[in-house]
Structure 1
Amino acid sequence: MIADVYIELKEGVADPEGESTLKALRLLGFKRVKKVSTVKVFRIEIDAKNREEAEKEIREMCEKLLANPVIQKFRINWIG
């Protein structure tokens, strides 16, 4: 099984990289861009009996290592 795990900042948390990219895009003439957010993606291939077991383990990975629960949220998107 393969899953993409998206890690992004929670609402209200400053995103300096996103803000800097937005400013640069506007300087390059892309005036219609309203917001840029930084998102990190991990593609995880996992050997599990079923999707429920795999999701439980990936959630545990996120809670223990991949995401900082104080400032980040995550979502899992299954591939195939």
Structure 2
Amino acid sequence: MTDNDKIIYLENKIKTLELQQNQLIKIVLHSTPEWAQESLKAAKSAGLVELPFMGISSDGSYDFYRILDLLYRLKLL
């Protein structure tokens, strides 16, 4: 494999990984799940600050929403 072939291979690999990453971001961080809407409202009214997650306009990941919902159900929010 020549140096040029290696560069082309790596460029294609990077493009593939970027595409996969963008697809995962759209799936996982696209929007707030319906079941977490109420707990998210409670967290915002309690003054919790959303942090930018990976530079994406989103309140958080599914783990974030699960923890938030658990805190809400335990009446800690």
Larger Rg over CA atoms: 2
User: TM exceeds 0.5?
Assistant: no
More strand by share: 1
Provide the TM-score with structure 2 as the length reference.
0.26
Higher helix share: 2
Q: Which has the higher contact order (CA 8 A, sep 6+)?
A: 1
Q: TM-score, normalised by structure 1?
A: 0.25
